[in-house]
């Protein structure tokens, strides 16, 4: 009997502590989209990526042109000349793929530029959220924009506007 009382009291305490937790959510995407520096950084990244995509497309067009020229002249070429042209085409394709990897790969130039331009802004936003949550006594703050697990969120828990005020927007 005494064990049951202890279990009941512990269950009651656990239930009360869960109810006492304060929860809020913010929309980090909305916050970032409001910050002019973020918009500029994103536009710069988009412009850079478009330029690099265009450069890569031009290189692939050159390869296509090389290949068509090779096909047209293939019958007239010696075995050695054919092999040489094929190697040139293959090497050019490898160069372009490497260029693509250097620009758009996981640790490529675009990723590094994003880290340079966007990460400081994101860090500033996360610091503001952290300070807001600490000042207001929130136990959990969820990101509505990236959390697919939030099926429903009461609008009264949305603290996006408060964080924007804290950031000065």
What are 31-42's pLDDT values in tens digits? 999 999 999 999
DSSP three-state, residue 29: helix
Answer for the pair 137, 23: CB distance below 8 angstroms, yes or no: no
Which residue ranges make up each domain of the chain?
Answer: 18-167
In the chain, the percentage of residues whose pLDDT exceeds 90 is 56
Show Cβ contacts of residue 158 under 8 Å, excluding neighbours closer than 6 positions.
24, 25, 26, 27, 144
pLDDT of residue 14: 52
What average pLDDT does range 10-33 have in this prediction? 71
Q: Rounded to whole angstroms, how far apart are CA atoms 114 and 124?
A: 15
Long-range contacts of 7-14 (CB under 8 A, 24+ apart): none
Q: Rounded to whole angstroms, how far apart are CA atoms 100 and 114?
A: 16
- Would the pTM of this model clear 0.85, i.e. be above it? no
What average pLDDT does range 148-167 have in this prediction? 74
DSSP three-state, residue 98: helix
Q: Rounded to whole angstroms, how far apart are CA atoms 150 and 24?
A: 12
Show Cβ contacts of residue 146 under 8 Å, excluding neighbours closer than 6 positions.
28, 29
DSSP three-state, residue 149: coil
Residue 18 CB coordination number (10 Å): 8
pLDDT digits (tens, 9 = 90+) for 74-95: 999 999 999 999 999 999 999 9
pLDDT of residue 20: 65
What average pLDDT does range 111-139 have in this prediction? 90
pLDDT digits (tens, 9 = 90+) for 60-74: 999 999 999 999 999
């Amino acid at each position: 009997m005494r064990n049951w009382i202890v279990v009941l009291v512990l269950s009651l305490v656990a239930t009360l502590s869960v109810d006492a937790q304060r929860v809020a959510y913010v929309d980090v995407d909305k916050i970032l989209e409001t910050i002019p520096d973020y918009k500029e950084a994103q536009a710069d990244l988009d412009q850079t990526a478009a330029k690099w995509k265009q450069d890569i497309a031009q290189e692939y067009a050159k390869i296509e042109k090389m290949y068509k020229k090779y096909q047209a002249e293939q019958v007239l070429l010696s075995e050695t000349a054919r092999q040489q042209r094929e190697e040139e085409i293959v090497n050019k394709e490898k160069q372009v793929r490497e260029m693509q990897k250097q620009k758009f790969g996981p640790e490529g130039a675009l990723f590094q530029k994003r880290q340079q331009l966007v990460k400081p802004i994101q860090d500033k936003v996360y610091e503001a959220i952290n300070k807001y949550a600490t000042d207001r006594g929130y136990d959990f703050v969820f990101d509505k924009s990236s959390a697919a697990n939030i099926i429903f969120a009461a609008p009264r828990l949305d603290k996006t506007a408060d964080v924007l005020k804290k950031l000065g927007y």
